[in-house]
Amino acid sequence: MPRLVMKFGGTSVANVERIANVARHVAREVRAGYDVAVVVSAMSGKTNELVGWVKESDPLYDPAEYDAVVASGEQVTSGLLAVALRRMGLPARSWQGWQVPVETTSGHGSARITAIGGTRIGERFEAAREVAVVAGFQGVHPETGRITTLGRGGSDTSAVALAAALGAERCDIYTDVDGVYTTDPRIVPKAQRLDKVAFEEMLEMASLGAKVLQVRSVELAMVHRVPTYVRSSFDDPDNPNPGTLICDEEDIVENPVVTGIAFSRDEAQITLRRVADKPGVAAAIFGPLAEANVNVDMIIQVVSDDKATTDITFTVPTADYERSRAILDSHKDAIGAQEIEGATDVVKVSAIGVGMRSHAGVASRAFAALAEKGINIRAITTSEIKFSVLIDSAYTELAVRTLHSLYGLDKEA
């Protein structure tokens, strides 16, 4: 029998009624002839509640015990879905991460999957066509035997990795939206659902602010060539919409120049004024930040007229802004900056599309269009299939709408 992995997020399993609806989606695929493994998240809001209990118990909590607590949300959901499926007459059982097993690194709270042993699930497929309901977001560190968790959105990663391990025909990620859109429909009502998106495009969109899929899950899907659909669990289980297929670029007949517009409000800007323009200065700035695991993104260097000093501007995640300022202040003598400035009221807006590889002037058109709207660009980064601009957050919606229209994304296919 062909194999299929289905994943359902927190809003899809928020209560017993919605879990029963998920069971109907699963039953449809079983009737279609698939051996099905289902990966589930915790009920909506449950992980936040569990995290709160841990922090209330001890702000300096032990990371291993933190994982033991927060992983319990998925355990509850997997058991409830197995109960619902059995009530419908389908053979089913729940699996925890350590039972599969999903083997991970030791990094509690942000572990990475190292291996998945899907043999036991495969044996249950062969013996009884039993639906495997797997708790997402969690695994086990083989050396210690302790439960680990994969970080927020980790159930997406669990699902894609399981699909690769089982040799599944595809992985369907069910969420509260019916696919991947050209941009956020809440900002641009004319945003269009995409039929297909290349792995590379989806990876850029996920890393640049699109919240549909976790970045790591897209990386795994691309490496293992797992066709992945984004679909809505709120569709009629008997007549669902097709969703959006994340696939190889070669599987898309014609690539538009720009596929989508993403934006991220999780940005902060730091500028070092009048830094000595000499070898070793960049290392003095970015070395300590790297040691503190601060992810630096956009970097711009402008040399002054006297050729002796330079201004260096870069961005960091908003959550790391204050810590980054403190690190730079503590290394001020080594850096030699005369002044350190910062801003948190900024946003990064990006245009993504594999079609950029074969078209010139894509970014320059955007710069001109933004200038016509009076939007000042603070920083720019580019790659082969995307460009990003840093602007004042007050202009977010105007910038997104301007670029969405500029590249013809308002038009229905």
CA-based radius of gyration for the chain: 23
Does the annotation flag 174 for ligand binding?
no
7 in a labelled binding site: yes
Sheet harboring 146-149: ordered strands across?
113-116, 102-104, 138-141, 146-149
Whether the Cβ atoms of residue 112 and residue 141 lie closer than 8 Å to each other = no
Is the CB of residue 371 less than 8 Å from the CB of residue 402?
A: no
Cα distance between residue 62 and residue 75, in whole Å: 21
**Beta sheet of 346-352, edge-to-edge order:** 260-264, 346-352, 386-392, 379-383
47 marked as binding residue: yes
Q: Which strands form 268-276's sheet, in the order they lie side by side? A: 299-303, 309-316, 268-276, 339-343
Q: Exposed, middle or buried: residue 369 (CB in 10 Å: 0-12, 13-18, 19+)?
A: middle
129: left (phi over 0), alpha (psi -120 to 50) or beta: left
Q: Which helix (H) or strand (E) holds 198?
A: strand 196-198
Q: Are 279 and 239 in contact (CB under 8 A)?
A: no
211 known ligand binder: yes
Instruction: Quickly count: other Cβ atoms within 10 Å of residue 33's Cβ.
Output: 10
| Residue 10 assigned ligand-binding role | yes
Does 176 count as an annotated binding residue?
yes
What pairs with residue 349 in β-bridges? 263, 389
Point out which residues pair with 83 in neighbouring strands. Answer: none
Nearest to 41 by CA among 32, 50, 33: 50
What does residue 258 show for φ and ψ, rounded to 5 degrees? -120, 130
Was 212 annotated as part of a binding site? yes
317 alpha-carbon distance from chain centroid = 15
120 annotated ligand binder: no
Instruction: Give me 60's structure tokens.
Output: 């300096």
- Beta partners for residue 131, in sequence order: 92
User: Which parts are annotated binding residues for substrate?
Assistant: 47, 74
Detail the residues annotated as belonging to a binding site for ATP.
7-10, 175-176, 181, 186, 211-212
State the binding site.
7-10, 47, 74, 175-176, 181, 186, 211-212
